[in-house]
């Protein structure tokens, strides 16, 4: 009977010793060998005592992250898409109708603070989420910052992409290379002429040097894609007929991540898809149920290596179609 009680409970001496060993191991960082020497027992007994302390709830181990971060979803999403980094934040109460909640930008700003190293070239594409991210930046190592796309409306450049580039450069203490031009032009000839202008050409020279890029994702519907909103009804219908499901930096994708409507790029001031594919770290910031399918499409393209999103989009992504190939396989799904 006493043996049974011994198996079920620890006596006071055992409890005191187990607590002391646990304190040495978990709080003071001592090794099992050091603890064994101090208490005059074998390291195997120390291991058994520590294991028992966990089983008997004498020691509790908690893994805690800030309340707004969902660590379980983040890890699952990273594994499903083969991403380098995936950070999932809690969706706000009105997430169903709100694409790219502002807290995504705040978390992305912290992530860039981790990813960017001194001497890097940071590229920022147009997007509400990247603008929110830049506004939230409070630390960056010295780096060059370049704008990767023209702006949605040149008349609002001071409040959009140009200001985002300036803000990031100010925080880092590095050089800024903004682009004072619309993203979408009436025709290819006008776009080509603008690309040859001195200031824009200088920014374009940095595209092949970008080491970390930050981009936004849009779904093909009004108010969720700036490119969609800039086109005429006839043009929107044309690209919709090609199966476009998502847009990123004026590049269009179908639901499988294949690029469609490539002619649109000839009219745009933007980084090329092949240049994005060569950038070591491309972080997409996008969330909300209305963008979830578009996020899936862009992740399948192989252009993005990391994602900051919310629980609303993440729940869709975890069950969206067949398991995608790893995002770190940067090959073009079109094979060209």
Domain CATH for 24: 1.10.10
276 and 317 housed in the same domain: yes
Answer whether residue 274 is part of any domain.
Answer: yes
pLDDT tens-digit readout, 85-139: 999 998 876 555 566 677 888 899 999 999 999 999 999 998 888 888 999 999 9
Residue at 305 is within a domain: yes
Domain membership of residue 334 (yes or no) is no
Same domain membership, residue 229 and residue 157: yes
The list of the chain residues with pLDDT below 70 reads: 1-11, 62-67, 93-100, 153-159, 330, 335-336
The verdict on 80 and 187 lying in the same domain is yes
Q: Does 152 lie in the same domain as 47?
A: no
pTM of the model: 0.78
* pLDDT tens per residue, range 274-309: 999 999 999 999 998 889 999 999 999 999 999 999
Residue 63 lies in a domain: no
265 within domain boundaries: yes
Q: Are 272 and 257 in contact (CB under 8 A)?
A: no
123 and 29 together in one domain: no
Residues 205 and 282 in one domain: yes
Q: Are residues 26 and 122 in the same domain?
A: no
- Considering all CA atoms of the chain, what is the largest pairwise distance in Å, rounded to the nearest integer? 93
Look up the CATH number of the domain holding residue 225: 3.40.50.1360
Which residue range(s) make up the domain with 40? 12-56
The total number of residues shown for the chain amounts to 336
Phi-psi region of 173 (alpha: psi -120 to 50; beta: other; left: phi over 0): left
Determine whether 65 is exposed, middle or buried from the number of CB atoms within 10 Å of its CB (0-12, 13-18, 19+): exposed
Answer yes or no: do 288 and 182 share one domain: yes
- Domain total of the chain: 2
Domain presence at residue 336 = no
Instruction: Clarify whether residues 107 and 254 are in a common domain.
Output: yes
Place of tokens 């995504």: 104
Say if 2 falls within a structural domain. no
In a domain, 189, yes or no: yes
Per-residue pLDDT at 243: 93
Strands 306-310 and 85-89: parallel
* Same domain (yes/no): 31, 165: no
Let me know whether 121 and 202 are in one domain: yes
86, 106, 171, 174, 202 from 158: Cα distances, Å? 31, 20, 17, 19, 19
């Amino acid at each position: 009977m006493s043996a049974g009680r011994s198996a079920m409970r620890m006596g006071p001496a055992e409890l005191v010793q187990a607590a002391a060993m646990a304190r040495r191991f978990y709080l003071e960082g001592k090794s099992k060998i050091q603890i064994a020497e101090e208490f005059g027992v074998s390291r195997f007994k120390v291991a058994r005592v520590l294991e028992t302390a966990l089983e008997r709830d004498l020691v509790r181990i908690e893994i805690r992250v800030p309340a707004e971060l969902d660590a379980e979803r983040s890890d699952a999403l990273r594994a499903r898409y083969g991403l380098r980094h995936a950070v999932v934040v809690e969706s706000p109460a009105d997430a169903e109708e709100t694409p790219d909640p502002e807290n995504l930008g705040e978390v992305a700003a912290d992530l860039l603070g981790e990813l960017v190293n001194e001497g890097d070239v940071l590229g920022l594409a147009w997007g509400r989420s990247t603008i929110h991210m830049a506004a939230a930046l409070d630390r960056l190592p010295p780096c060059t910052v370049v704008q990767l796309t023209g702006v949605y409306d040149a008349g609002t450049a001071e409040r959009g992409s140009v200001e985002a580039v300036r803000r990031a450069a100010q925080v880092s203490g590095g050089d800024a290379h903004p682009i004072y031009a619309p993203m979408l032009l009436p025709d290819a000839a006008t776009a080509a002429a603008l690309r040859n202008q001195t200031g824009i050409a200088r920014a374009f020279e940095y595209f092949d040097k970008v080491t970390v890029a930050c981009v936004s994702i849009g779904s093909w519907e009004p108010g969720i894609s700036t490119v969609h909103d800039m086109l005429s009804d006839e043009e929107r219908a044309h690209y919709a007929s090609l199966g476009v499901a998502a847009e990123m930096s004026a590049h269009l994708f179908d639901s499988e991540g294949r690029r469609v409507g490539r002619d649109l790029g000839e009219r745009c001031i933007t980084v090329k898809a092949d240049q994005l594919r060569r950038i070591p770290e491309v972080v997409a910031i996008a969330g909300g149920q209305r963008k979830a399918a578009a996020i899936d499409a862009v992740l399948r393209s192989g252009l993005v290596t990391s994602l900051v999103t919310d629980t609303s989009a993440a729940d869709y992504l975890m069950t969206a179609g067949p398991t995608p190939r790893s995002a770190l396989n940067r090959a073009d799904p079109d094979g060209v």
